[in-house]
Structure 1
């Protein structure tokens, strides 16, 4: 249920749901559940831009995942930590952590998180102004999203590509791809749809 609220960008409800799960997991001494709930609470705090708290919670979660040998959630927590470092502009740690996560996702065959983490790494290179490398990583991520039918991830990765094209003054390319993003975003009721439509309006005005 927390995942549903988070995907709909209803962060207060997501936080409440995940915190309730965390309390139950601690009460019944479910270490796996505790680690997952800590990861999820960390993710929502990242979404809310509470980066210091998000990093602290995600590192706690990571320690539990490693302690019990939960490789899948170890990889997810490393991906989350990488995205928090990116938000904090600590690109060296962001890249280091995200590469560790990617290696785990690939080793265990977690395709969804492999795609998400490739997008994370692409965003780091975009921040470092290496657009060719960022676009290459986004294309790799997109191929995985499409292969597994992860439509929310397709939208998010394509939008990341739109921002690069817009920053490189490739307005036509940005506009055409953004129209694809909006069409798919409408189908899946993407929470950032108003933001996508606003950017399209701005790109049309600039042209």
Structure 2
């Protein structure tokens, strides 16, 4: 199961990195010019990201392809301003779109670029979401043990940041893997850990799945 939380988190985390520009007088120090240019680029990056999100939400294959182009535009702008957090979130989301389009290796390329940036920025929630999604890709590719490695790296991070919804998702995914591997008792252990978290977060659909 893929974690779409990054789309939601992105709007909040990226918005924090964007500063409103102030009116500039005729004679502006070089440092101020650079700062204003960076601010404008940050604003343009956020706009491109939001446009990519809107395209993604249309749900069609064509719209998702267009979303990738818009997110790539945002990615360049985040890199230009040195916004590592925005870069990490955007890479994660490009990976997610590629995965949903069935291009699993492309998805892994982007997730694996996102992961060290989230770690460097101390974004443990983002790191957990990316680890979870890498696990999901490996699971779909039939590499169950590799998937398990990534899910089990994601789980303690979910708990550390208090992400109960994400924790429930990862627990359920681990349960599914153990079930597929024939380890039914282990599967039950993880499903029974996931269930109360699904209920506590009001995720009735997730509760039904578990």
TM-score category, normalised to shorter length: 0.7 to 0.9
Deviates more, 1:153-162 or 1:135-144: 153-162
Matching of residue 115 in structure 1 with residue 125 in structure 2: no
Residue 49 of structure 2 corresponds to residue 39 of structure 1: yes
**Cα separation, partners in 2 of 1:99 and 1:180, compared to 1, 3 Å:** same
Are the structure 2 counterparts of residues 169 and 44 from structure 1 closer, same or farther at C-alpha, using a change threshold of 3 Å? Answer: farther
Matched, 1:156 2:169: yes
Asked whether 1:137 is paired with 2:150, we answer yes
1 CA distance for matches of 2:108 and 2:84?
19
Q: 2:77 corresponds to which residue?
A: 64
SS of alignment partner, residue 189 of structure 1: coil
Change (3 A) 1:132 1:46: farther
1:106-128 CA-to-partner distances (Å, cap 9, x unmatched) read: 12221111111111111111111
Compared with structure 1, are the counterparts of its residues 41 and 153 closer, same or farther at alpha carbon in structure 2 (3 Å cutoff)? Answer: farther
Any unmatched runs of 5+ in structure 1? 1-5, 201-207
Paired residues of 1:111 and 1:144 also in contact (CA < 8 A): yes
Q: Within 1, Cα distance between the matches of 2:66 and 2:175?
A: 30
Q: Deviations over 1:138-165 (max 9, x none)?
A: 0110011111211121112122223323
For CA contacts below 8 A with separation 6 or more, give which structure has more relative contact order. 2
Q: Compared with structure 1, are the counterparts of its residues 196 and 33 closer, same or farther at alpha carbon in structure 2 (3 Å cutoff)?
A: farther
Give the match for residue 125 of structure 1. 138
Residue 52, structure 1, aligned to residue 62, structure 2: no
Match in the other structure for 1:87? 100
C-alpha RMSD of the superposition: 3.0
Query: Are the structure 2 counterparts of residues 194 and 108 from structure 1 closer, same or farther at C-alpha, using a change threshold of 3 Å?
Result: closer
Q: CA deviation at 1:76?
A: 0.4
Bigger radius of gyration among the two: 2
- Mapped to 1, the partners of 2:160 and 2:194 lie a distance apart of 17
Change (3 A) 1:146 1:64: same
46-55 vs 100-109, which moves further: 46-55
- Please state which structure has a larger fraction of its residues in helix: 1
TM-score, length basis structure 2: 0.71
